[in-house]
Chains A and B, each alone.
Chain A
Amino acid sequence: MNDLVSHAPPAFVKEGGNPYPELFRRDYASQSPAYAPIYKTSVLRSPRNALLSIDHSVSETTGPMFGQNELGMLDNDLILNYAKDGEAIGPRIIVHGYILDENGRGLPNTLVEFWQANAGGRYRHKNDTYLAPIDPNFGGCGRTLTDENGYYYFRTIRPGAYPWRNYVNSWRPAHIHFSLFGNAFAQRLITQMYFEGDPLIKVCPIIKTIPDEEAIQRLIAPLDLNASVPDDTMAYRFDMVLRGRRSTLFENRLEGN
């Protein structure tokens, strides 16, 4: 096996003289079905009709863009971005990686948002009533833009597991929620990152809705000692992949079509 990934040539479909940079069709074989009874809340919140497949137009192949000037200096540092009279409590970690497309290309300047429970498994949210205490110095959210190569990183504390009412005695494995934009509205994705070695991963109903074991493995971030800061912070590596395009916007421009 080689590590090179393929990429598709520009589309042959022309619209107004331009190659049409449509996205690859979604591969539902590695995505959870909407109706997944082991995750009970999905039962009443899943459409019963088949999704209507539509061809991509400019409405799907474009999407919102964000600038560095919209973010604050500490937006990617959850240890400090809500610190009142001390730092957030918990194991200090860095989470880092690349946002790629299915062609293996990094997606530059794209907004990455993340949120999580504190080290005790409690969320700073008016609807969370778990008995573990709020950490006065931890907000639990952040955001960053990828660099020109699609690379992102942020600093936080490792979140705790928490109970939830699916079955009696259901516990979510420690996780961080991610929201990704890419550069087209049809690439919009929300997912969760888990931590290597967590025994709760195997019994989590939300993870089990994913029908593909390899897709599950890709949600589990390995410890990355090379990126850790000695005597300070451990690192976890988490790459994410958004849908690919037949060709990038920038290539189309260079072709001068």
Chain B
Amino acid sequence: MSVKYLKETASQTAGPYVHIGLAPHQAGFDIFQNNFDNNMVSATTRGAQIIIEGRVFDGSGSLVRDALIEAWQANADGRYNHPGDRQETGSVDPNFRGWGRACTDFETGLYRFYTVKPGPVAGRAGKVQAPHISLWIVARGINMGLNTRIYFADEEKANEADPILRGIELKKRRDTLIAKPSHKDGKTIYTFDIVLQGDNETVFFDV
């Protein structure tokens, strides 16, 4: 007799109408008093405020205009707002949950997060992880949410030491995880496109 555990429920696609449940304003109606959205910060959140922006492409190079993307990240100190984070440096920011939800636009295909740049986070075995944001992507045609990470091009040194980036041999593949900064109207925007399939396919993780 084998050891018995329950089995994880089978994932099913979020479908074309995922917005109804998770982002009703994008579906075209207003129902909840409090909506979860892509603004992860308030005026009092500590750290450098940034914008993450990008598009999602399918295997034919077409825009995926019905994707929903969630972000999970540490604060500017590198701390997660969760009791499971027992790092000893820095502190939790009560004004930063570290989570947001964005949709690609039905016309332009653009998604956007308003957040702060995360600090470096402890990795395993005493290693340090470069600043990063974890992403989870669902859409019609995606049977199980895809996991990836955003790293930052201006963190070159930290990126070189990052245990996950180091584990990706091909530079071309590694580069799919690195967002490039630009500046507009005094704001810092990091561009992070996600390619579901094909030549510049984003590295996705089995987490």
Contacts and interface: CB of A to CB of B under 8 A. Distances in A.
A189 B122 contact: no
A219 B8 contact: no
B6 A102 contact: yes
Interface stretch (B42-50, B134-142, B180-188): B134-142
B122 A15 contact: yes
Nearest to B28: A126
Secondary structure call for the B interface: loop
A82 B33 CA distance: 12
A203 to B, nearest CB: 16
A49 interface: yes
B122 A57 contact: yes
Contact of B13 (A39, A54, A218): A39
A115 interface: yes
Given A30-B10, A102-B7, A41 B141 contact: yes
B171 interface: no
Contacts of A100: 6
Contacts of A104: 5-6
Contact of A47 (B28, B32, B98, B196): B196
B143 A33 contact: yes
B182 to A, nearest CB: 26
Interface string B81-94: 11111111000000
A49 B142 CA distance: 15
A32 B12 CA distance: 8
Contacts of A65: 81-82, 97
A216 B12 CA distance: 10
Q: Range of interface residues on chain A?
A: 35 or more
B7 to A, nearest CB: 6
Contact of B136 (A18, A185, A206, A212): A185
Contacts of A72: 32-34
A33 B21 CA distance: 24
* Residue from A41, A143, A190 having most chain B Cβ neighbours under 10 A: A190
* Residue from B86, B145, B204 having most chain A Cβ neighbours under 10 A: B86
Interface in B107-138: 121-125, 129, 132, 134, 136, 138
Interface of A: 4-7, 13, 15-16, 18, 20-21, 24, 26-27, 30-34, 36, 39, 41-49, 51-65, 70-72, 75, 81-82, 100-104, 113-115, 123-128, 139-143, 177, 179, 183-186, 188-192, 206-207, 209-210, 212, 214-216, 218-219, 240-244, 249, 253
Given A6-B3, A46-B142, A57-B129, 6 more contacts: A46-B59, A64-B98, A140-B21, A191-B11, A206-B13, A218-B7
Going nearest first, the 3 A-B pairs with the smallest beta carbon separation are: A115-B21, A41-B141, A64-B99
Interface of B: 3-22, 24, 27-29, 31-34, 58-60, 62, 64, 66, 70, 72, 74, 80-88, 97-99, 106, 121-125, 129, 132, 134, 136, 138-147, 149, 164, 167-168, 173, 196-198, 201-207
